[in-house]
Amino acid sequence: MVFFIFLFFLGFCIARLFIIQFLRSGYLSELARKQHSVFVELEPRRGTIYDSCLRPQAVNTAVESLYASPKEIPQNDKEEIIEKLSSILHIERDYLRDRLSRKKSFVWLARKITPQQAEEIRACNIKGLGFIKESKRCYPNGYLASHIVGFAGLDNIGLEGIELACDKYLKGESGWAMILRDARQKKLDMPQQMVLPKDGYDVVLTIDEVIQYIAEQQLDKAFNTYHAKGASIIVMDPHTGQILALANRPTFDLNDYANSLKDSRRNRAICDLFEPGSVFKIVTASAAIEEKKVSEEDKFFCENGSYKVATHTLHDHRPHGWLTFREVIGQSSNIGTSKVAQVLGKDILYKYIKLFGFGEKTGIDLPGEITGVAHQPRFWSQISIATIPMGQEIGVTAIQLASAISVIANGGQLMKPYIIKEIRDKYGEQIKTFSPVMIRKVLSLDTARRMNKILQGVIEEGTGKLAKIDGVLAAGKTGTAQKLEPNGTYSHNKFTASFIGFAPADDPLIVIAVILDEPRPYYFGGVVAAPVFKNVASDVLKYLKARQPMRETLVLNETARVN
């Protein structure tokens, strides 16, 4: 009996050895490999975002992330650990309890914590917790240019703005390493295999940090003074299409984007649709001159402030009798502009609406841009020929208005606005550059110059007097548009105030578009938006004049470095 028991046991052992050696060898070898080797992903450095003068707007900083090995933590100690971690990390106890109850060797507890939190946890000397070095995206200017720069998430993946638009350049390529471990699972720092990470490229923007600050400071002042629902400003080089500054209100802190409101993160300058009001009259006026339908001194009777077209009655903000075409634009007469449009005809008017870029994307290299609304003439109503010229029945964006006024400022060309200047590696070598792009010729040089003179009159003698800059000749157009109510009628207490213009008028360096949504108690564009243009243009022009010698020095230094 004993003999047969041992014989049976021997047979069982042989069978078991056979199964282990031949049937499960692959599985067990892989299990051993996993126990003695660990795969570690090597994170690349995400590229830096710079302004045009190479001042950093987004950088990476080294931080620590907390993990736990629940298997190594005694069950009796977990509640005490949860209590300590909850007070330090400000994390719900239920979340920590769920993570520590898992039967795993590795779970994340908190990613990219502050240095103070890491020190407090280390001081607790808790078994089963560990730290891993990671990089965290940091935005040194906080609120400044938040809608341009955007932000990246915990895993350094771009989620908004330039961070999203240039993610393929910024993120780089991850590397990896296989690290040996001993029987107690301690790393031996002996890599078996390794592929080094490839760092991301840096992105240089066209914006200037100083100009951005000037624009945001003045926009913020108007936004708060007039209790506006929202506001946008764009500063642009009319000859190249480079965006020098772009800002919106409300705004948010890039370093605390998770706690910001969704409405504050919206880039209103490129994705908010609104009826432009009188600033749109530049299209009608330009078309009339270009098509030689009117001249500056042609006179139009403005019906003393009330003019019936089909079933609709147009009104001016104050009554006018006979006005020259120049005065029609300078005094922003709705009736006079509508009569000019009727001389043009709807087909010609629509042609110039499209030539100026309305109803299509400008192509700016920021995510979220919309096309706006510009209906074809076959969809126009009987009164459209009278209302569209004064900025009703059409939807535009702030960036479209900035591009449109640039046409007059630069001599008749529609330029593609852009905000990315170049892509470069960490050594400063250029990988890709972006140059000005002319979309199409819109106006002749003669028409652009004549429109320039007319728009100078708006500031010198017309509705834009508050935009007048001391010692600098400027040109522009005011706009005040009634907003639509939910029932489709125009509101009598909700308005969009705007001003678009350029300076100096004789040699334009900048164009500026200012939009305020529902300002109160004052709502006229010439009252609330024009002063913003004046203050921004004045400070920016002074800065550009002072910066010129500095830029020449930087160019010489850069050339010497390359040589």
What region does 376 belong to: left with phi over 0, alpha with psi -120 to 50, or beta?
beta
Question: Hunting for tokens 């350094």 — which residue is that?
Answer: 156
Amino acid letter at 170?
A: L
SS3 for 401-458 is HHHHHHHHHCCCEEECCECEEEEECCCCCEEEECCCCEEEECCCHHHHHHHHHHHHHH
Distance CA 275, CA 27 (A): 68
Q: 521: cis peptide before it, omega within 30°? A: yes
Active-site residue, 278 included:
yes
Q: Which helix (H) or strand (E) holds 58?
A: strand 56-68
Nearest-Å Rg of the Cα atoms of the chain is 32
Structure tokens at 399: 């960036």
Residue 538, CA distances (Å) to 119, 324, 410 in order: 49, 31, 19
At residue 192, the pLDDT reads: 60
Distance, CA of 340 to CA of 358 (rounded, Å): 20
**Backbone CA torsion sign across 47, 49, 54, 59:** negative
Q: Which residues contact residue 382 at a Cβ distance below 8 angstroms, ignoring those fewer than 6 apart?
A: 309, 310, 311
As a whole number of angstroms, the distance between CA 193 and CA 396 comes to 56
Domains, the chain, with CATH or none: 209-558 (3.40.710.10)
Q: Nearest to residue 169, comparing CAs of 340, 61, 312, 47?
A: 47
Question: How many residues comprise the chain?
Answer: 563
3 state SS of 8: helix
Cβ partners under 8 Å of residue 406, min gap 6: 236, 238, 241, 414, 415, 502, 511
Predicted confidence at residue 562, as pLDDT, reads: 43
Give me the residue label for tokens 């400044």. 144
- Strand partners of residue 66: 110, 131
To 10 degrees, the CA torsion angle through 95, 100, 104, 105?
120
- In our burial notation (b when 16+ CB lie closer than 10 A, e otherwise), range 337-374 reads bbbbbeebebebbbebbebbbbbeebebbbbebeebeb
Distance (Å, whole) CA 516 – CA 183:
67
164/365 Cα distance (integer angstroms): 11
The pTM assigned to this predicted structure is 0.85
Distance CA 367, CA 356 (A): 22
Q: Measured between alpha carbons, how far is 55 from 51 in angstroms, rounded to an integer?
A: 5
Phi/psi at 270 (nearest 5 deg)? -120, -10
In 3-state terms, what secondary structure has residue 481?
strand
Distance CA(332)–CA(480), nearest Å, equals 10
Q: What is the pLDDT along the chain (563 residues), one digit of tens a residue?
A: 999 999 999 999 999 898 888 888 877 777 666 666 666 667 788 999 999 999 999 998 888 888 888 878 888 888 888 888 988 988 888 999 888 888 777 788 888 888 899 999 989 888 888 888 888 899 999 999 999 999 998 888 999 999 999 999 999 888 876 666 665 555 555 556 667 788 899 999 999 999 999 999 999 999 999 999 999 999 999 999 999 999 999 999 999 998 999 999 999 999 999 999 999 999 999 999 999 999 999 999 999 989 988 888 888 888 999 999 999 999 999 999 999 999 999 999 999 999 999 999 999 999 999 999 999 999 999 999 999 999 999 999 999 999 999 999 999 999 999 999 999 998 889 999 999 999 999 999 999 999 999 999 999 999 999 999 999 999 999 999 999 998 888 999 999 999 999 999 999 999 999 999 999 999 999 999 999 999 999 999 999 998 876 555 544 555 454 44
Residue-level pLDDT at 26: 79
Q: What is the pLDDT of residue 563?
A: 46
| CA 237/CA 489 separation, integer angstroms | 38
Q: Are 248 and 232 in contact (CB under 8 A)?
A: yes
Calpha distance 545→517 (Å, rounded): 32
Compute the distance between CA of residue 41 and CA of residue 332 in angstroms, rounded to an integer: 63
What's the CA gap between 124 and 389, in Å, rounded? 71
Contact between 354 and 362 (Cβ < 8 Å): no
Q: Is 313 helix (H, G, I), strand (E, B) or coil?
A: strand
Q: Which of 278, 332, 338, 406 is catalytic?
A: 278
Q: Provide the angle, in degrees to the nearest 10, between the axes of the packed helices 445-460 and 398-409.
A: 110
Query: What distance lies between CA 466 and its chain's CA centroid?
Result: 29
Separation between Cα atoms, residue 147 and residue 140, nearest integer Å:
15
Q: How far apart are CA 126 and CA 84, in angstroms?
A: 10
